[in-house]
Amino acid sequence: MKRADDTLLLSDNPAELRALLLAERQRRKQAEADLTALRVTSRIPQLNPNPIIRLSSTGELLFANPAAAMLADELLATGPSRVRPQLVQAAQHTLRTGESLQRELQANGQHFLLFAVPVLEEGFAMLYLTDVTARRQAEQETREQREFYETILAHLPAVVTVLDPDQRYRYVNPYAEPDPELRQARVGLSFADHCAASGLPPALAVRRRRLFDRAVTTRDTVSWEEQWPGSDGDIAKYWQCYYQPIFAPDGILREVMCYGLDITVRRQAEARSHQSEAQMLVQQAFTSLVLDLNPNLIWVRDAEGNTMFENAEMKAMRERIRDLAGAVTMEAALDMEVLKTSALTDQEVLKSGQKILNITSLRLGNGEERWFQTVRCPMVLADGTAQVLGVSTDITALKQAQQEAEAAALARENFLANMSHEIRTPLNGVLGMTSLLAKTSLNEQQRSYTAIIQHSGRHLLNVVNDVLDMAKITSGNLELEQSAFNLCDSMGKAAHPLVMQAQEKGIRVVGTLLRDSCPLPWVVGDSYRLNQVLINLLSNAIKFTPAGGTVAIGGYFVSETEDTLTTEFRVTDSGIGIAPDKLESIFQEFTQAYADTTRQFGGTGLGLSISRALVAQMGGRLTVQSQPGQGSSFSFVTTLPKASAEARQKANEPVVMLQEAAVRGRRVLLVEDNAVNREVAQLLLEGHGVVVDEAASGLEALELFEECRYDAVLMDIQMPGMNGLEATARIRAHYDPVKAATPILALTANAFRADAEKYAEAGMNDTLPKPFDEAELLGKLAALMAGGGPASALAAALPAAPAPTETSEAAPANATVPHPAPAPEAAEAAAPLFDLALLSQTAHGSTAFMNRILTSFHNNTPGSVAELRAASAAANWPVAAALAHKLRPSLRLLGAAGLLPHMAVLEAESSSEPERQTAAKELEAGLEELLKVLPQKLES
């Protein structure tokens, strides 16, 4: 028992005493246990890793466990940014309300969950702070990650939705539904509901349910395509859709993600691609058909020379070449050089990247030669590799036509050359003798006959001149001179001789002088051709104007610049006029306004066509205005360069004085294998003070050229051994640049324009056809020495001479033509064996000069005759042609016109074997006869 002071009152009863002692022992044991528990409990705040704080109602800090030490600065501080005011506020609030308080606060960069518990009886509050920083960071990361994925889903260019196991929408991204309200309204609906609301076919929902079940059953992704019909005229939409089931760890279906891609553009592209493929197949078939129907050979080869494509024509040609040669392949049938050249050309195309055109010949197994014009160009494929596309056109017929045309042109040129000689030479004799005859004592009837002969002869000469001019114009061989002249003087020279003719016919001639409107009409051009046009127009005006009529010729200033002068020339008559429908046809060749014009007035119908062509070549146009019965007016405007003061001065200087001053004392090298030609040139040049060194071959010329310095070289073209072109090339390649630039004048019997162009390309400065005229030789040589170049400064200052014939074969107008011996009645009159008129003119009547030339010909020609006989016996026609070419200038100089046609046959490539044999025999016989007669001429 206990007393009031809590001490034990011992009992006398042992049992009771034992019970008391036992109870006391248990009480003390319990007290010790409670004390131990209290000690443990009191240590909990100390050991708690979270801050525990005890605050009084006034905010006094009564207790803080060690974990709160991290907040020591915060607890002691009182600033608004510190945590202590928040703790005091929480303590006071919970003591005032008597209720616990929970809130979150930050301190030292950490997040704490504050739990405030009031202890009212003691008057303080216990504040428990739990560190939730890691949890808040995890929540923040989770939130940011969610926002990141939601941003991706919101901007993903694809439909993304999430369905629950009942196929109802849990999530719809903005791409699937841009309207936020509609997007939110779709959540909780099924796809069938969406189809019903959007007007989509119910079959889409049925199909999707079946695919949804398949994805869940197979627990794998299911994909499909579906088409949504367009609305309001829009095109249909195509979607590539996927169902991706998502299961919980326990295997329960959580959700199914559905996403779809708009493949409308792709499907449209595929449709276009299919359409393009179909069109391409049609195009390929069409192209293949076109290529196979093309008569050209078309092929494609790669860089290794492998054939990648060939059309039907190429395949047929391949088989033909192979079969004719009896070979296995076309390549085996072709010459290796042909294959090599073709391969090199292909490589050049691939290397340069440029188109190449060439013309080649191919000889087939049957001996047939085919000509092809081939165009090759690079063809780059899509992968960047390059191949060669070739198109070969069979131009065999064109080549044959070209060769025939060239042969015809050559024959035409030869004909014109022969006609020039065969007609002009005797015609000049006829006119000359008639002119002399007219000066003798004749009776009236004889004078009438003489006048008829003169008129007929002049008419025939005009016809020949017109034909030759027209031939030159149509062949493009007519070149205009470029020399200084006075337009007024030229106009006067053209009009003066015709004024008397008009007056004799009773026609009044009036004129307007150009100098009235143009005080200084000096220009550079071809005065001869300008005169020719004016004479033709004035002659026509006089011809077609009856007695009592009027003809007017006028020159008018039009305009000028610093360098050019433009003038107009007009010829007007009061004659018969021209019908309107004939105003253009009169300019056609061999055409006149009326059918009886030729019979009534004469003429060839070439004059106006020649005049219009000449005016066009001068840069103008000849026009006509006319009314039948009222007359005609022909006019043309020309713009020509103005002549400089120096050119005007030179044009007024005597020609011979200028030429002789330019060449006197100069040294030239004469290279000519024909002794006669050397003799002629030497005598002519030495007569004007020129020092001449002679060489009979190209090699001999080069030796002399090394030893001496020459002012010019006269170079023959065809010589044995080294020809003139080869010698020129050696001179132009000389190490001394001054000697390499020595002017070279080509001496040739080929007087056509193409030959002159070939010689110019070889490096020659100008060309002089043989036999050459003394003035022409002197003029060209003086021009080269004065400034170099073909007919340069000096030639431009000389007045134009009358146009030579096509091959410079015409005899001079005053030459005396020997009368041929009478021939048998049944035979045609034979041409004289020779005519020394041209030689006499060249020698200026010097008998010594003529004898030296004739002696040289007599001594050197027998060797050529022997060579010609041997060449014809061996049928070596190239040698025979060279010999004929060599002899041609000498025979022309001697006037042996009857032998020239035989030489033309030998020189022509188109001549047949019998024709060559006959020509060689005739030429040998003629030369032998000439060699027999010449000694008699020398003696006389």
Q: What pLDDT, in 10s, does the model give residues 423-476?
A: 655 665 566 567 657 767 888 888 877 877 776 676 576 666 666 666 666 666
Task: Please check the confidence at residue 885 and state whether its pLDDT lies above 90.
Answer: no
Residue with the larger pLDDT of the pair 427 and 565: 565
Mapping DSSP to helix (H, G, I), strand (E, B) and coil, where does residue 175 land? coil
Could you give all domains of the chain from N- to C-terminal order, each with its CATH number?
14-136 (3.30.450.20), 156-262 (3.30.450.20), 294-394 (3.30.450.20), 480-644 (3.30.565.10), 653-797 (3.40.50.2300), 809-820+827-940 (1.20.120)
Instruction: Work out the widest C-alpha separation in the chain, in whole angstroms.
Output: 222
Tracing tokens 């050397």 back to the chain, one arrives at 678
SS3 111: strand
CA dist 797 and 658 (Å) reads: 10
Average confidence score pLDDT of the chain = 79
pLDDT reported for residue 819: 33
Q: Measured between alpha carbons, how far is 773 from 845 in angstroms, rounded to an integer?
A: 14
Residue 406 neighbours by CB under 8 Å, 6+ apart = none
Select the highest-mean-pLDDT range: 163-172, 264-273, 573-582, 919-928. 163-172
pLDDT at 375: 92
| Spatial CB neighbours of 162, under 8 Å, sequence gap ≥ 6 | 169, 170, 171, 255, 256, 257, 258
pLDDT of 183 > 90? The answer is no
Burial of 234 (0-12, 13-18, 19+ CB in 10 A): exposed
Q: What is the DSSP letter of 8?
A: B
Name the pLDDT band for 414 (thresholds 50, 70, 90). Answer: low
Q: What are phi and psi of 32, to 5 degrees?
A: -65, -40
Structure tokens at 782: 């003086």
The SS3 of residue 378 is strand
Task: Tell me 674's DSSP state.
Answer: -
Task: Identify the band that residue 64 occupies on the pLDDT scale cut at 50, 70 and 90.
Answer: confident
Lowest mean pLDDT among 702-711, 777-786, 805-814: 805-814
Q: Is the pLDDT of residue 913 over 80?
A: yes
Q: Is the four-CA dihedral 80, 85, 90, 95 of positive or negative sign?
A: negative
Please provide residue 189's backbone torsions phi and psi, each rounded to the nearest 5 degrees.
-90, 160
Task: Answer yes or no: are the C-beta atoms of 186 and 167 closer than 8 Å.
Answer: no
Report residue 72 CA to chain centroid gap.
Answer: 93
| Cβ partners under 8 Å of residue 274, min gap 6 | none
pLDDT one-digit tens code per residue, 670-711: 998 887 778 778 877 887 888 999 999 999 999 999 988 899
Q: For residue range 351-400, what is the model confidence (pLDDT) as tens digits?
A: 998 999 988 888 887 878 888 899 999 998 888 899 999 998 988 888 88
CA pair distance 528, 651, nearest whole angstrom: 14
pLDDT grade for 753, boundaries at 50, 70 and 90: low
Segment of 34-48, 73-87, 226-240, 804-818 carrying the highest mean pLDDT: 226-240
Task: Answer for the pair 871, 917: CB distance below 8 angstroms, yes or no.
Answer: no
Q: Looking at this protein, which amino acid is placed at residue 337?
A: E
**Per-residue model confidence as pLDDT tens digits over 161-178:** 999 999 999 999 998 888
Residues 6+ apart with CB under 8 A from 79: none
Average pLDDT over residues 86-92: 88
Looking at per-residue pLDDT, the higher value among 787 and 917 belongs to 917
The size of the chain, in residues, is: 940
Q: What is the pLDDT of residue 813?
A: 33
The pLDDT, as a whole number, for residue 797 is 27
Q: What's the CA angle centered on 186, arms 180 and 190, to 5 degrees? A: 165
Under the banding of pLDDT at 50, 70 and 90, the label for residue 793 is: very low
What pLDDT shows up at residue 939?
61
Distance between CA atoms of 93 and 802, rounded to whole angstroms?
A: 139
Residue 534 has pLDDT above 80, yes or no: yes
- Please check the confidence at residue 800 and state whether its pLDDT lies above 60: no
Q: Which helix (H) or strand (E) holds 578?
A: none
pLDDT at 769 over 50: yes
Above 50 in pLDDT, residue 248? yes
Band of residue 540 on the pLDDT scale cut at 50, 70, 90: confident
The C-alpha atoms of residue 616 and residue 510 are separated, in whole angstroms, by 27
pLDDT band at 812 (very low <50, low <70, confident <90, very high): very low
Q: Which of 7-21, 677-691, 763-777, 779-793 has the lowest mean pLDDT?
A: 779-793
Query: Among positive and negative, which fits the CA dihedral 667, 672, 673, 676?
Result: negative
Q: Quick one: average pLDDT of 618-640?
A: 90
- Indicate the burial class of 317 (C-beta count within 10 angstroms; 0-12, 13-18, 19 or more): buried
- Cα distances from 929 to residues 439, 548, 820, 899, 918, in angstroms, run 38, 60, 16, 11, 17
pLDDT band at 803 (very low <50, low <70, confident <90, very high): very low
Dist. CA 466–CA 614, nearest whole Å:
12
Quote the pLDDT of residue 805: 34
669 band by pLDDT with thresholds 50, 70 and 90: very high
Averaged pLDDT, 639-664 = 71
- Is the CB of residue 598 less than 8 Å from the CB of residue 586? no
Cα(589)–Cα(607) distance, integer angstroms: 8
